[in-house]
Each structure stands twice: as C-alpha cells, then as structure tokens.
A = this chain, B = another copy of it.
C-alpha cells in the first residue's frame, strides 16, 4: 500500500503529554529490532529511502513552512531556504552511502612473509552501524538541526535507527515533520520503528539511558549538552555522545586589514552577528580590532536594526540576562545599542572592552549569548591576538580578517588549529555549508567529541564502527568486502587505495 505524498502532508499537533518511561522502552525495543533489519539492507536501498524522505519533505513544504513560521518567528524565506538545505542534506547523504568510501573498506590478503615475524592472516575490514541513536533536536534550526536534520540524516545513512527527542520550541512542526519522515521511510520499504519521536526532557534522558541505545547526538547549550554527555558516559555500558554545545567564534582583525577595508569589515560583521537574529551557533560573538580602528568607528555609527523576534521565551530571557551581566562588568561599555524595534524583537547591542580586561579573566567575558550581540575588543599590539587565541576555550570556528602579508597570521593559525574546528580567512562564520570537506565541530566546549563533525558528509562517521573479518568465506562477508562486490566502493587493498 502506498500513501501518496499529498497524504503525508497533513498538519499534526504534538501530543499533550510527555512520552512515558514504558513508551520509551517500547520505542527503544522496536528501534533495535528495526535496526537489525535496516542493517541488512544494501546501500542502494538505504540511499533510496533517504531520497524518499527528502522528496516527501519537499512536497510537504506548503504545510511545514507555515507551522514553522508560527512556532519559531522565522521568516518564510529563511524557512524555505532551510528546508531546501535539509532535503539537499538528505540527498547528499544518499550519495555518500551509494559512493561507499565512508566504509573505509580494507582488504589484507594472507601473507606468509609479512615482516612482522608471523604470517599475516587474511583480514577484511569495514564499518557497521552502531545501533539506535537518540537525536536531541535544536531550536534554532527547526528543519536543518531538528527532526529531519543532519544528525537524523547521517545516522539513518550510517544504517542506524533514530529516536528523535523533539524540541519543545516547535512541537507541532516536530510532530508533522516526524509523520512525514515516518511515512516516507515506510513507503520506501524501511522497517517499522526505524524512526520515532519521544517528547519531554525526562523521556529524552530515559532514551539516552536505555540499554538498546548505542549513541546520542545533540545540538544545544553547554549546560544541557554536558548533562546529557554525563548520562551517556556514566551508563553501565557507556556510549558515545556527539554534542555540539557552544561557541563564541572569535574574529581576529589585523591592523592592515582594518586600514585597507575597515568600513567593509564593519558592515560584514554587522550582517554576520545579526543574521537570523544572532541565533546561530557560528555567530561571531567576539571581534578583535586594533586600537583606533576604522571598524570601531564605523560600528559606533552603524544603525543596528532588528526585524525578527527571538525564537522563544527562554532565549529572550537568556539574551537579556547575559547582556545585562556583561554590560555591568567593569571595563565593559556599550559601543552601540540599536533603537528599540517594534513588537517583540530584541534590541541589538554591541559591547566593547580592551584586550587587557579580557585577558585578565577570559571566562568572565568570553561567553556565548544567543541573540544580536557581540563584544568588540580593542588590542594595541598584534601579539595580543595570539594571547587571546591561547586564552580561549574550544570553538566551532575562528576567523582571520587579514592581509596575505600579515606576519601574525601564521602564529595565529598555529594556535587556532588547536582551538577550533573551522578556520576562516576573510569570510564570516555564519552559514555552514553542507559539503564533503565541511567540519562543524571543535574542542570542548564547542563539542563533546572534538574529532567529529555534525555537518558535512563526514558526519556519517560518528555512527559506524569497524569490524574485521578474518579468513571469512565470501558468502558471509558484507558486499563491499567481497572479491566481486555488487556495489563497489573505494578500498585499501594490501595497504594501497584502489578505486
């Protein structure tokens, strides 16, 4: 029986009650069972299922976008763009699965003369899915980091079932998107139970603690992410937890860059820190500029306008609390405050301080604040840029606004490589493209798993683990490890990569 795409796109409301412990238990068991069946599908089948989900979501756009607008205050244009990004992402993971190099397939033939001192047996190694993954949706991207977002797409692509803990910020959108995803997967032949939703913080914790669950993925705050990480690590069987938490995304402007194009930098910075009402995890929250900078002068005179309200009450409260605390810190002044916008939109605000104040106690001033604000820090000597880079915690991004002739760039890059997942040169960190080479991660507290990325095709690597088959007969091997695979993938044979 096939449901038409139109049938899938019917507005649903979220359940009135949170998911009970018994229901979480049932969902986890069904998820594990579905995972065993899903792991047996071939890559082509998994790819088609991901594409079916993408198609169904695109078809459901006329239903989904109005609900999203109502629940998140984001504009229709932004939401349509985000949904397009989300379905593109699903299709890119379908391509990644079909192409197969994420399997890192390796074949070592038996070698009696292997120089280790003992004969080498035949070994064939590939990746298998981890098992059920609990995905905690974020509020700030109701499509791209929510129900059918990057974590869900990469986990399903890897062959893992997904238990989606819905974000309370957009409940009806979550319910409706969830129904579209489930129906599309089932129509594509995926096992029942491969994807399900749970509601409420307690249900999320219960799912993460469930013995059948084998990994967690999260996008959100440092506090919330760390609490979940601690649950994942303290289970009788600890499981990996891929949390993307917080980042201030420092931007380092050199003196030469300020001299060459200060006004332009100020305009670009303003566009970046107010984009999406400043609610991106890659918002530049810290701008380092030289003393007497053109950037600062221009910012002081910039009209900061803010059209859109913030996502929800918790973010509004957090914005005002953090802004009030930072403004009252000694050595911090308001560089520019926007005019009070109409309606519920927040007032954009730029704060300013001197680098010596920052370096005296970085933890006091370097803090993520969701919303249209940032801290402009004036330095005197470019070596202070390196000092700041050394002083900050792990970041998702760090940006150099510099000239190619700037000597400080090499030192700064060397320090920042240890601090951030993505380094930018004369571009702005907001806007995280979904590509093969993207890295959206970084040392703690940017993430709880610094080696991994939650955006880009490498995100699939989080949800697989390696298994080696020694001396195994052909008919029991995964296809990609056989001598004549039906769906070939790049392999390393006796240590040499072979297309």
Contacts and interface: CB of A to CB of B under 8 A. Distances in A.
Given A84-B117, A458-B466, A450 B130 contact: yes
Given A101-B497, A233-B230, A240-B451, A436 B470 contact: no
Interface in A446-462: 448-453, 457-458
A424 B471 CA distance: 6
A155 B401 CA distance: 34
A178 interface: no
Contacts of A320: none
Nearest to A236: B444
B495 A116 contact: no
Nearest to A123: B437
A475 B433 contact: no
Among A120, A448, A450, A494: residue with most chain B CB under 10 A: A450
Contacts of A116: 84-85, 88-89, 433-434
Contacts of A107: 437
Contact of A425 (B118, B131, B465, B472): B472
Contacts of A413: 476
Interface residues of A, number: 91
Q: How many copies does the complex hold?
A: 2
A121 interface: yes
Interface stretch (A42-50, A254-262, A369-377, A415-423): A415-423
Contacts of A471: 424-427
A464 B451 contact: yes
A468 B437 contact: yes
B81 A439 contact: no
B404 A114 contact: no
Interface in A431-446: 431, 433-439, 441, 443-445
A59 interface: no
B473 A404 contact: yes
A360 interface: no
Nearest to A420: B467
A451 B465 contact: yes
A238 interface: yes
Contacts of A451: 130, 240, 464-466
A460 to B, nearest CB: 12
Interface in A335-352: none
A128 interface: yes
Contact of A495 (B239, B436, B448): B436
A393 B434 CA distance: 37
Contacts of A99: 495
A466 B441 contact: yes
A490 interface: yes
B106 A425 contact: no
A443 to B, nearest CB: 8
Contacts of A441: 465-466
B433 A114 contact: yes
A467 B417 contact: yes
A470 B435 contact: no
A71 interface: no
Contacts of A490: 497
Interface string A71-94: 000000000010011001100000
Given A117-B84, A433-B114, A436-B494, A128 B418 contact: yes
A271 to B, nearest CB: 14
B468 A123 contact: no
A217 interface: no
Nearest to A475: B404
Contacts of A453: 466
A115 B88 contact: yes
A295 B391 CA distance: 65
B468 A36 contact: no
9 contacts: A88-B117, A106-B436, A120-B435, A240-B449, A404-B473, A409-B476, A421-B467, A425-B473, A436-B494
Which 3 pairs between the two chains have the least Cβ-Cβ distance? A439-B468, A106-B437, A233-B233
